[in-house]
Amino acid sequence: MSLNDNIQVEELFTTYHQQIYQFTYRYTQDEGLSYDIVQDTFIKFQKYQTNFDPSKSHIRTFLFRIAYQLTMTKLKRRNKFKKLLPFLYEPNQEEPVSLEEKITIRTTLQHLPPEQRAVIIFTYYHDLSQKEIAAILQIPIGTVKSRLHSSLKKLKDLLEVDDDE
């Protein structure tokens, strides 16, 4: 590995480590594990950076794909799927979300399968395009669209409040 490669990885780390940490933390709810995944993401990137083709995807997409795969692997190993508590956050939202609403959303997202939850998190928290999500998850764009539609419908049904109660 040359000095230029080290500088490039340092620049990528500086640019993307916080986004990757936030993404992994929403899955793990474990600060230490999330930092480990961020570190492992960049180590794996260094090892496999020759596989990255800038004509096929953006570097952010490649890094998120690595982070997503590492997160799922580590969660499976630790059997933590039941503790996944990502929370939906829309940065452009005009009114801040109350703590009660955040808890409700967090709880409701637990009812989504992990693959639907990933699409929601990437779409609404990380503001990724459907094409980028498809590349990260290594699924067809049509699958991203159907998972997004299904998960939004399910969230709407789960969050719907009956006025008669």
Looking at residue 159, what is its pLDDT?
A: 76
Looking at residue 157, what is its pLDDT?
A: 82
Looking at residue 82, what is its pLDDT?
A: 41
Determine the topology of domain 1-84 in CATH. Rna Polymerase Sigma Factor; Chain: A (1.10.1740)
Counting as low any pLDDT under 50, the low residues of the chain are 1-3, 80-94, 162-165
Looking at residue 12, what is its pLDDT?
A: 92
CA geometry: angle at 135 spanning 107 and 109, to 5°? 5
CA geometry: angle at 162 spanning 156 and 165, to 5°? 150
Looking at residue 34, what is its pLDDT?
A: 93
Q: Which tokens hold the place of 59?
A: 């570097």
Looking at residue 23, what is its pLDDT?
A: 92
Looking at residue 138, what is its pLDDT?
A: 92
CATH number attached to the domain at 91-165: 1.10.10.10
Q: What is the domain partition of the chain in residue ranges?
A: 1-84, 91-165
Looking at residue 64, what is its pLDDT?
A: 94
